[in-house]
Amino acid sequence: MPFNLPIRPDLQRVQRRTFTQKVAVGTPILSITAVYALGVVLRRALGRPHPLGWTLHEELLITLMRTLLTRGDIGVWRAFFRNVSSRKRVPPQVEVTPVARPGSRSLWFELRAPLRPIAPRASLTLLFAHGGAFVAGSARQYQLTYSVWLRQLAARGIDCRILSAHYPLAPEHKFPAGRDFVADEMQWLLDPAASGVTGPVAVGGDSAGANLVFSALAWLRDNGRLPSPPAACLLVSPAVDMSASCVFSRTDPEAAAAGAHDYLPRGKIGGALPHLYAERLEDPYVSVALLDDFGGLASDLLVTAGGAELMASDIRAFAKRLRAAAPGRGAVTGAGGGGWSASYLEEPGRVHSWPMLMLPHLLDKAAPIFDFLERAAGPV
């Protein structure tokens, strides 16, 4: 589906539904999901496992997400994220507090005192921006994932806290609103005099959030507003290309077959949806794969992807270019100067943003992410 589709005026703002409307919209979607889930169970009962070796839990979760994203609209997506990230679902292991910055609705996540390292050997502050196709999600979206990440790092002696960015969503707030919010949050966090944070700082995000983080870093650097590059930048399944060169615009067999097992709906993600975020998709601050210079953004960068995800080819190409540009530590390059390094982690058979999905059997697969954050923390 081409990107140059006209955007209907009624899609410029997502209207809230009444209870009756929610029932009318949600009931058919949930019914279809139940039918698909029953099909999964019956197929497995007949001795036919998933072709990628997924567990039943994994397949049912991805079936649910695929159906909601394919059959639903932005209102349905937002309702789904609100449900999975409600205040009632805050893990008991974490404390959640508002960020004390004027105009910010972001949240701090940290382990409760009894679970934090008694004598930490290192500390780390991580700014993380959630995914959601630029149109859905909130700072609470990954509160369950944050709980696991914080405990994994605590087991390594790392005292970490996470600033979860609550950025404005499209289509009500189009580019550069989300990017500018993340940039302001990042600039504040990286300035010890403003934020009070004196230890190592890492930044990261997944999907659309990873795009916003990388775009914010580049924009701050290019405008001389980056106080100092963060110690690390983690990009989980980043949305790096929405231009005419991306997988959605290509018609070759590889592109046509991409994401056959992913939960991202190609028709929506590759249709009019990107235009709800930005007018000029070729802008390098929108399609960050088109940036001319990757230097001076962070000391260390890690890009992750799932081998079965829809955007895998775009992410691979971006990571390849990023790694080729990285001089390794000790060299000087890029507009911001300073040595930096980059690496890429792709997990075969996994879907979009797989490290964020809270699938227990994949926790060991995420160990390189915790290794990366541990390196960023460094010594106390």
pLDDT in tens, 275-329: 999 999 999 999 999 999 999 999 999 999 999 999 999 999 999 999 999 886 5
Q: What is the DSSP string of 188-256?
A: HHT-HHHH---S-EEEEEETHHHHHHHHHHHHHHHTT--SS--SEEEEES-----STTSTTT--SHHHH
Is there a contact between 158 and 377 (Cβ–Cβ < 8 Å)?
yes
Does residue 327 have a cis peptide bond before it, meaning omega lies within 30 degrees of 0? no
Query: Would you state the pLDDT for residue 1?
Result: 26
Beta pairing, strands 107-111 & 94-98: antiparallel
Neighbours of 107 (CB within 10 A): 19
| Class of 91-377 in CATH | alpha beta
Distances 332 to 115, 190, 290 between C-alpha atoms, Å: 40, 21, 22
Query: Would you state the pLDDT for residue 12?
Result: 54
Query: Would you state the pLDDT for residue 3?
Result: 31
pLDDT lower than 70: segments of the chain? 1-15, 328-338, 379-380
Residues of the chain with CATH 3.40.50.1820: 91-377
Residue 57 CA to residue 352 CA, distance in Å, equals 16
Distances 81 to 103, 146, 321 between C-alpha atoms, Å: 23, 15, 33
Rounded to two decimals, the pTM is 0.92
Residue 375 CA to residue 358 CA, distance in Å, equals 23
Beta pairing, strands 232-236 & 201-206: parallel
Q: Amino acid identity of 371?
A: D
Give SS3 for 161: strand
Report angle CA 301, 302, 308 to the nearest 5 degrees: 150
Distances 320 to 41, 217, 274, 281, 323 between C-alpha atoms, Å: 39, 19, 24, 21, 5
Is there a contact between 144 and 219 (Cβ–Cβ < 8 Å)?
no
User: Which residue in the block uniquely carries the two structure tokens 């650097």?
Assistant: 221
Residue 66 CA to residue 54 CA, distance in Å, equals 15
Q: CB under 8 Å to 115, separation ≥6 — which residues?
A: 93, 151, 154
pLDDT tens, 129-147?
999 999 999 999 999 999 9
By CB neighbour count within 10 A (0-12 exposed, 13-18 middle, 19+ buried), where does 114 fall? Answer: exposed
